[in-house]
Amino acid sequence: MEPKWLQWAKSLQAIAQNGLTFAENQFDIERYEKIREIASEIMAENSNGKFEYIKNLFGNEEGYSTPKVDVRGVVFKDNKVLLVKEKADGGWTFPGGWADPNETPSESVEREVFEESGFVVKVKKVLAVYDRANQGHTPPFPYHVYKIFFHCELVGGEKSNSIETDGVDFFSMGNIPNLSASRTSLGQIRKFFEHYNNPEMPTEFD
């Protein structure tokens, strides 16, 4: 689970963002802006982030506060799973990223897999919808995130790197490389191998 200070900071940020979305009274607006500052101070005090950076990060969020959606493609071939190597931290992960507006979830993940690996895939099933905060990812994230994992069928293409990745390969369960802990966990990989070997398993959530 996430540390309490992070939960408090994100809750205060959501209250401030929602309040600023609907408030019309100038005094209320000032109060919500102060709440946003307090949220930024809590996060800066307990992380490596600078106060002004975090304040600007929160300030760029507009409209009603909702979780962000991260989509990941789980692609198997010959009892091995597709992973890509992130340039950002050198760790390996299921290909994927933020879902884009004007795309369905399946369109988003199929695009992400192609962009990051070079492989063309077709979504077959939703394997899991997880709350990132409950998955043990590190480091903690300033936003509330839902992670959707899709089992995708490999239908074409060939492996190629991208502006975000500099490695693409298939790995057996006994040969998983160093992972990008912010994006993918060993427990998730192990669970999805179970789904691969037992296709009747139901979608998981929460």
Alpha helices in 23-151 (DSSP H): 26-45, 51-59, 105-117
- Judged against a pLDDT cut of 90, whether residue 141 lies above it is answered with no
How far apart CA 194 and CA 166 sit, in angstroms, is: 28
Residue range 89-99: average pLDDT? 97
Closest residue by Cα to residue 150 from 201, 92, 75, 81: 75
Identify whether the C-beta of residue 43 lies closer than 8 Å to the C-beta of residue 37.
no
Structure-block tokens of residue 106: 């399946």
Structure-block tokens of residue 164: 């975000």
Residues 6+ apart with CB under 8 A from 56: none
The share of the chain scoring above pLDDT 70, in percent, equals 100
The pairing of strands 92-93 and 80-86 is: antiparallel
How far apart CA 171 and CA 83 sit, in angstroms, is: 7
pLDDT interval class at 2 (50, 70, 90):
confident
- Judged against a pLDDT cut of 90, whether residue 113 lies above it is answered with yes
pLDDT interval class at 5 (50, 70, 90):
very high
- Judged against a pLDDT cut of 80, whether residue 1 lies above it is answered with no
Identify whether the C-beta of residue 92 lies closer than 8 Å to the C-beta of residue 84.
yes
How far apart CA 168 and CA 60 sit, in angstroms, is: 33
Q: What is the pLDDT of residues 148-185, one digit of tens each?
A: 999 999 999 999 999 999 999 999 999 999 999 999 99
82 alpha-carbon distance from chain centroid: 17
Length reported for the chain:
206
- Judged against a pLDDT cut of 90, whether residue 195 lies above it is answered with yes
- Give residue 79's pLDDT: 96
Closest residue by Cα to residue 96 from 72, 79, 114: 72
How far apart CA 170 and CA 168 sit, in angstroms, is: 7
- Give residue 177's pLDDT: 98
Identify whether the C-beta of residue 107 lies closer than 8 Å to the C-beta of residue 151.
no
- Judged against a pLDDT cut of 80, whether residue 103 lies above it is answered with yes
How far apart CA 63 and CA 33 sit, in angstroms, is: 14
